[in-house]
Amino acid sequence: SLSLSWPRPRSLGAQELISRTRGSPRSFAAVSEGCRSTPAASIPFVACVAAFLGALAARGSQRHEMRTRRAATQMQRINKSRVATQTKTEMKQDRWALIARAPIRKEKWWQFWKPVVIRVGLKVFTVSEFAEVLTRGVPELTNLKAMQAASELVDSAMVNDVGTAVVISATQQEADRHRMRLAAQCPDLTLTVEAMD
């Protein structure tokens, strides 16, 4: 007589089920598929439980890793923002202004035709002449900036007894150097170096 023997299905252990599903983004589906494709008698209950727990641990590890990466990226952005803000603050705190103060000669209302002049000691300067004095004392100052500073001083003196104007802004050391050079060109001009807001 001819006897046929069928091979018994191989039993899947917990380690093999875990190794099949490890690293897969669909770990739970893979474990379920593995349990369904293998006869129930050949899969120990403990093996299935271990496989599910392993898949759960792998998925939790992936989520934790993603959260850690996102947190690290966010911290890098925050640190860059803090460094940029600190740099801007330090640059702003290091800006100093060279201030010039002088009155103008105020004519009577019927003498409106006379040009506005700036009084510096016993001398008087027109706006363009005063701008030339500024450029000689501060070579870094352009003609346009010098005219703007002279006009600012005149506008301020129109409503105050003494006009005030910012000649140039720089670091404290550079502003003090500009003050000494301009004072040498025009000793009677009141000059101060003040921190900018």
pTM over 0.85: no
145/72: higher pLDDT: 145
Cα 75 to Cα 161: distance, rounded to the nearest angstrom: 54
Residue 75: pLDDT band with limits 50, 70, 90: confident
Over range 67-90, report the average pLDDT: 66
Over range 4-25, report the average pLDDT: 50
Tell me, what's the pLDDT at 73?
Answer: 75
Tell me, what's the pLDDT at 162?
Answer: 93
Residue 66: pLDDT band with limits 50, 70, 90: confident
Neighbours of 102 (CB within 10 A): 24
Q: Helical H runs in the chain?
A: 14-21, 27-37, 45-93, 127-137, 143-159, 172-185
Residue 40: pLDDT band with limits 50, 70, 90: very low
Q: In the β-sheet with 190-195, what is the strand arrangement from edge to edge?
A: 163-170, 96-102, 190-195
Dump pLDDT digits (tens) for 84-104.
Answer: 555 455 455 579 999 999 999
Cα 1 to Cα 12: distance, rounded to the nearest angstrom: 34
Dump pLDDT digits (tens) for 108-148.
Answer: 666 666 788 999 999 999 999 999 999 999 999 999 999 99
Beta-bridge partner residues of 123: 120
In the predicted structure, residue 59 carries a pLDDT above the cut 90: no
Dump pLDDT digits (tens) for 148-189.
Answer: 999 999 999 989 999 999 999 999 999 999 999 999 999 999
20/181: higher pLDDT: 181
